[in-house]
Amino acid sequence: MPMNDADAHVAAQIRAVLAAAEAGGGVAPIVEAGDPILRQTTRPFDGQVDDAELAQLAEVMRATMLAAPGVGLAGPQVGIGLSMFVAEDPGSLDPETAEVRQRSPMSLRVVLNAEYTPATSENVAFFEGCLSIPGYQAVVARPRSIELTGVDLNGTPIAEVVAGWSARIVAHETDHLDGIMYLDKAEMRSLSTNTSVAKFWNQPSTQQAASELGFTLPSSMLL
């Protein structure tokens, strides 16, 4: 059965990215805010390309993420309207930051057709950045844990609870698949350049930033 036009378009996007990466030393260009693909709902993976091309795309997306550097990258961020993201986090080297932010290492994961729902009513708020909005960060409140569903590269179903900083990464990347960017959910009074975050707000928590910049934190973070 031939592919419909939308799926054929996704396949063409994938092959264009693979070609660009081949010409760029294995790294693809990252799409920046303002490109309409970042505001569109992605197509679920449904065999638009074969397993070899899909695995190659995962490798390119991981290489692009690491080169940026970043800890997550979604299909639209490389110009592909496909429900797919990669994520990998080395964790925090600072023990206090790791404890406050619940930031433990997360090994590489590739997720297709991802969706999530809160697994708790407790929200936590920390600075986030995005490879598609370089140079800036803002505070975003997200669930401390989420329920993630999807499939992996082998087509094996994923259904698990993801907690802490890993939940933040996964939620951020999954939002991209629905055309949502982190600034849509951010406390805009917290918007800061990377330089300002390093200079003023390099504490494990965001309480000082909330107090001095004038935004509200979830009640669970005020104890």
Q: Could you give the residue numbers annotated as active site? A: 173
CB-based burial, 38-74: b 16+ in 10 Å, e otherwise:
beeebbbbeebbeeeebebbbebbbbbbeeeebbbbb
Side by side, the strands of the sheet bearing 106-118 are 72-74, 84-89, 106-118, 145-151, 157-163
Burial of residue 179 (CB within 10 Å: 0-12, 13-18, 19+) is: middle
Alpha-carbon distance values, 93 to 96, 106, 204 (Å): 9, 13, 12
Strands (DSSP E) found in 52-202 = 72-74, 84-89, 106-118, 123-129, 136-143, 145-151, 157-163, 186-193
- Are 134 and 93 within 8 A, CB to CB? no
